[in-house]
């Protein structure tokens, strides 16, 4: 087995199955930052204007890795939820 063949085999083994969708392949590996605020009633209010990236038209999955930060505004340390 030559080097090129071995590399291709390793790449295929490392590639997630979902990444085989050609329509969203260019979006794979990207990170989308989503921030929202936790309101006192327990609901989340989005802060970031973009929101979640839209799902792929072909496979229906959100290709990006989502980094979701939830900010909780408290008035005292006792308000912190564990």
Residues that bind Zn ion (CB under 5 A): 21, 23-24, 56, 58-59
Distance CA 14, CA 8 (A): 10
CB of 56 to Zn ion, least distance (A): 3
Which CB sits closer to Zn ion, 21 or 38? 21
CB of 10 to Zn ion, least distance (A): 23
CB of 31 to Zn ion, least distance (A): 17
Distance CA 29, CA 59 (A): 16
Which CB sits closer to Zn ion, 39 or 58? 58
Q: Tell me if residue 6 falls in helix, strand or coil.
A: helix
Which CB sits closer to Zn ion, 1 or 17? 17
- Residue 63 in contact with residue 24, Cβ under 8 Å? yes
Distance CA 81, CA 22 (A): 42
């Amino acid at each position: 087995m030559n080097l090129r063949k071995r590399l291709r085999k390793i790449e295929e083994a490392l590639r997630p199955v979902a990444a085989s969708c050609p329509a969203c392949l260019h979006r794979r590996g990207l990170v989308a930052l989503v921030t929202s605020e936790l309101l006192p009633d327990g609901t989340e209010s989005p802060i970031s204007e973009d929101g979640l990236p839209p799902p792929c038209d072909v496979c229906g999955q959100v290709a990006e890795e989502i980094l979701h930060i939830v900010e909780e505004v408290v008035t005292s340390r006792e308000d912190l939820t564990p």
